[in-house]
Amino acid sequence: AFDVQIASSGKRYTVGAKETVIQVLAANGIDVLTSCEQGVCGTCITRVLEGECDHRDMYFTDDEKAKNDQFTPCCSRAKSALLVLDL
C-alpha cells in the first residue's frame, strides 16, 4: 500500500494493494476523468509533485516515465510511500 496526498487540500488517502488510485480518489469525492482505465488512452493523466511513480501504463514513452512528473492513476502506482498529486 501507499498513500496519495491531494496538494490542494493536504488530505491523504491510502491505496491498498487491490485498489487503484482512481478508485480511492472517487471514493473520497475526487473525480479524475477516465476512459480506458487500462493505461492506454492518457485521459486520466495527473501531475505528480512529489514521490516516485510506478508507471504501469502503455501511454507514456520511457523518457516521459523517467521524468516522474505525471502518471496515469487508473493503473499506475507508487514506488515511494507517498505520492503528492497536483489535484
- Min dist CB 26 to ligand FES, Å, is 12
Span from 10-18, 34-42, 63-71, 78-86 in contact with ligand FES (CB under 6 A):
34-42
CA angle (33 as vertex; 64, 56 as ends), nearest 5: 40
Distances (CA, A) of 38 to 9, 33, 41, 43, 52: 27, 13, 8, 10, 20
User: Around Cβ 76, how many Cβ atoms within 10 Å?
Assistant: 25
Nearer to ligand FES, 10 or 61 (CB): 61
Q: Does 23 bind ligand FES (CB under 6 A)?
A: no
**CA torsion sign, 7 to 12 to 15 to 20?**
negative
Span from 7-15, 32-40, 47-55, 62-70 in contact with ligand FES (CB under 6 A):
32-40
Grid cell 490542494 is found at: 8
- Min dist CB 67 to ligand FES, Å, is 17
Q: Does 32 bind ligand FES (CB under 6 A)?
A: no
Q: Does 64 bind ligand FES (CB under 6 A)?
A: no
